[in-house]
Amino acid sequence: MLRAFSHTNGRCAFHHAKCWHHRKSVLAIRREDVNAWERRAPLAPKHVKELTQMGYKVLVQPSNRRAIHEKDYIKAGGIIQEDISEASLIVGVKRPPEDKLIPKKNYAFFSHTIKAQEANMPLLDEILRQEIRLFDYEKMVDHKGMRVVAFGKWAGVAGMINILHGLGLRFLALGHHTPFMHIGMAHNYRNSSQAVQAVRDAGYEISLGLMPKSVGPLTFVFTGTGNVSKGAQEMFNALPCEFVEPHELKEVSRSGAIFFFFLTSDLRKVYGTVLSRHHHLVRKRDGLYDPVDYDKHPELYTSRFSTDIAPYTTCLINGIYWEQHTPRLLSRQDAQKLLVPVRSAAGATEGCPELPHKLLAICDISADTGGSIEFMTECTTIDSPFCMYDADQHIIHDSVEGSGILMCSIDNLPAQLPIEATEYFGDMLFPYIEEMLLSEGSEPLESQNYSSIVRDAVIASNGSLTAKYEYIQKLRESREYAQSLKMGNKKRVLLLGSGYVSGPVLEYLTRDSNVDITVASVMKEQLEQLMKKYSNVTSVHIDVIKHEEKLSSLVKKHDLVISLLPYSAHPLVAKKCIDNKVNLVTASYLTPAMKELQESVEAAGITVISEMGLDPGLDHMLAMECIDKAKEVGATVVSYTSFCGGLPAPEHSDNPLRYKFSWSPQGVLLNTVQSATYLKNGEIINIPAGGALLDSVTPMDFFPGLNLEGFPNRDSTKYAEPYGIQTAHTLLRGTLRYKGYSKTMGGFVKLGLINPDPYPLLSSTMPPLTWKELMCKLVGIKLPAEYHVLKEAVFSKLEKDKSQLEAVEWLGLLGDEPVPAADSIVGALAKHMEMKLPFGTGERDMIVMRNEIGLRHPSGHLEDKFIDLVVYGDNKGYSAMAKTVGYPTAIAAKMVLDGEIDAKGMVIPLTKNVYGPILERVRAEGIVYSTRSVIKQ
């Protein structure tokens, strides 16, 4: 039998036997879904085979991502099955999503809750609410406190491979080709044996003296003596290496650095040292180390690593576990001192440069943010494994170039070698599986005869934290109290939405260290990316539309809300702001639904700012700046025309629409079938909804090289009063596109593709349709239909317009590709176009705006004012649309926080005290406009 029985008394064995007699226990291996790279499992097929041979039923959730194939689990006796609700024990590697938890079950996984980690507290709350018994592998320890279930070795192996690869890239960026260039990332190898061979090949080149002489001898420092450190050392040993004592590191490093032309043998190998506590920890009062005293009072000790070891270290491989009150290895101040350039070597030349400083790289395998390496504030990922820490600027940038220390701090390293890691971990976990399996999560914990190793790993059971882990709640409370004190003088902003506009908003607001921001979004991956980039930002993964109570709770905790959600969500958000007396800023139109809240907003005494983006937003501000200046000299406005468009840069407009999507595709499509109203030469022109707008297209020749066209947008006449230009005989606001866009869109309208009405056949609950099948229905021909028959029918529907037919074919709308599930046909087309017409890597967008304002001066002469705004997106930065929407929104939000905008009620940027500072400040962000005049007699 399993080890669980050999370590229990007779009473326990009898109890288990009795349980087995009455039921057949079921184990489930859940699918890993927290990370795209997570290909491990907690148990391998050999472990499943042993369990099934003992009579247990083992369910395995299907997963094409899992590195070990399903057929191997089936061969071992496992049952591939989605539904795992019959299992009494559900095991995984990483945490499950909260909505996938099953009440009153036993779960075992790495929960990352024992330090009251803020990101995982919602998970713990849900575990308590659903009365789940949680076994945490991290707390399965023996009588010496050593972990008995861990991936540690494979974290060390993968981490060492990665940092050798990273060193190759870093050396190359510094001007040196090295043998490390031939080592790849750990996941590029089928198994560790292949990786070892690659490291040996690099080591062979080192042994031949092929390392550049000007880099001097390389020194690697391994912290800790556990499995993590041993795994890294195991891979390091594949290099020609010599281990030295920590106190010898100084001499090894210096002798090589000074005399490397004479001691060439030093460059035919690399040096390593293993660092234990006694090598660098000393008591503050007397400089001594006492292991017993240190365990009791770690806060009385300090580390000499930064002065005694780090100055002679090329690469630090950190594998030590860090806790509060224990000394750090390196602080930010330490890093600043360590990055001081080394003295020039006599043989260094332009082609053979010296290294900027000794400490080049840190592989923090512990991945403990803000821990033993204080400035490691965010983990890197397998996708983006390296970053550079610039200590002088205290910034982290994703690169291997520039100033600073190369950092690698991936928190799921064993996932890079998933098969070996699974087998290794399973061997360690297997002896404890049966005692966890032979109990029900709904049974009282006190009635279970667990071994001490298993019992001490139970974090929660029966709806409560176990006695050993009640401290977690106290940690949470103390942290929340500390945060409340810290937040006392800080401004708190809630940002709803994490899309493309959120980047400039966060970048601008986080410049002020007294502003703390919470980002709430349904897009988990976008949140994760934002959290890596901004330190004083926290995230909440939530659909605020579906969880109104949580939205209200979030709003209540902040001083200001910025909503980047679709405009239809703003009335709901505004109502929560009214209820909690919190100010609100949005970039969207002040819709009728928002206007209905005017009295409630004023009664609440809050500020609600709308139309603070590009269009609407900057167009208002540029218009009002000109109009107000004209009125100051007694002029009247006789005409106002404004056209604006977000476009792909000309070199990226090579598709039938001459367009790509940087914002809601559905919104773009629906704009083409809206009604429009405008004033022209004193006559009001009404364009009905349904597509007539596309017949009102006019060529725009103010930038002839761009070949633009424009069409009216919404009701332009409503701006006569807010702008104060009732004297104007022409008032038109419109949308810009490249010539040909409107004609192509007109084809879609003819085919019935721009139809927002519900279309049940496209529901996710219905059998999927292909575009060919949908088009047959739209043009009225029976299925199945030959391609040429459908094409001819579509051509007829398009009134024999060849360019419109080419666009339909180019988008694949006559083919067998499935139509995305959606509520409407236009919704499905929007999803399809989002996939077909995105901005690719390195492609940039462009914003074009032209305001033309006709003035009549008191003298009688006429003047035309032309205001042009052209902004390009950055290849590796923000899009033009993101900048021109995000920065005005952020600036307005900051003005509200600082009291510069204090008007109560509904506000749009039409007054000088609002638009003046914003126009001045957007110029500093690279949003620059030009103005010219033409005087007419």
Convert the pLDDT of each residue in 721-749 to its tens digit: 999 999 999 999 999 999 989 999 999 99
pLDDT at 410 over 70: yes
Percent of the chain with pLDDT over 90: 60
Residue 365's pLDDT is what? 94
Query: For 682, left (φ over 0), alpha (ψ -120 to 50), or beta?
Result: left
Write the pLDDT tens digit of every residue in 642-697: 999 999 999 888 888 899 886 667 878 888 888 999 999 999 999 998 888 888 89
CB atoms within 10 A of CB 485: 9
Residue 348's pLDDT band (cuts 50, 70, 90): low
pLDDT digits (tens, 9 = 90+) for 195-238: 999 999 999 999 999 999 888 899 999 998 889 999 999 999 99
Q: Facing residues of 491 across strands?
A: 515
Average pLDDT over residues 405-426: 95
If pLDDT is split at 50, 70 and 90, which confidence band does 937 have? low
pLDDT in tens, 802-837: 999 999 999 999 999 999 988 899 989 988 988 888
In this predicted structure, what is the pLDDT of residue 395?
A: 62
Structural element, H or E, at residue 678: strand 676-680
pLDDT of residue 22: 41
Q: For 365-416, give the DSSP string.
A: TT--TTSSBTT--S---SSS--EEEETTTTEEESSSSSSSEEEE--TTGGGG
Sign of CA dihedral 174, 178, 181, 186: negative
615 is catalytic: yes
pLDDT in tens, 554-586: 888 889 999 988 888 889 999 999 998 999 999
Q: Which residue has the higher pLDDT, 258 or 111?
A: 111
**HEC readout, 480-530:** HHHHHHHHHHCEEEEEECCCCCHHHHHHHHCCCCCEEEEEEECCHHHHHHH
pLDDT band per the 50, 70, 90 thresholds, residue 625: very high
Which of the four pLDDT bands, split at 50, 70 and 90, describes residue 843?
confident
Instruction: State the pLDDT at residue 300.
Output: 94
Over residues 624-630, mean pLDDT: 92
What is the pLDDT at residue 399?
77
> Is the pLDDT assigned to residue 13 strictly greater than 80?
no
Amino acid identity for residue 472 in this structure: I
Tell which wins on pLDDT, 434 or 523.
434
Rg value, the chain, Cα: 33
The token pair at 517 is 């921001």
Q: Assign 123 a pLDDT band (cuts: 50, 70, 90).
A: very high
Tokens of 429: 């976990």
Short-list 151, 267, 157, 173, CA closest to 212: 267
Q: Does 16 score more than 60 pLDDT?
A: no
**Segment 295-321 mean pLDDT:** 93
Residue 841 confidence class, pLDDT cut points 50, 70, 90: confident
**Could you give the CA distance from residue 357 to residue 178 in angstroms, rounded to a whole number?**
17
Band of pLDDT at residue 47, cut at 50, 70 and 90: very high
CB-count burial class (<10 Å; 0-12, 13-18, 19+) for 178: buried
pLDDT in tens, 57-66: 999 999 999 9
- 615, 619, 823, 868: which is the annotated catalytic residue? 615
What pLDDT is attached to residue 253? 83
Which of these ranges, 121-130, 367-376, 420-429, 641-650, has the smallest mean pLDDT? 367-376
**Residue 399, class by beta-carbon neighbours within 10 Å (0-12 exposed, 13-18 middle, 19+ buried)?**
middle
User: Is residue 790 predicted with pLDDT exceeding 60?
Assistant: yes
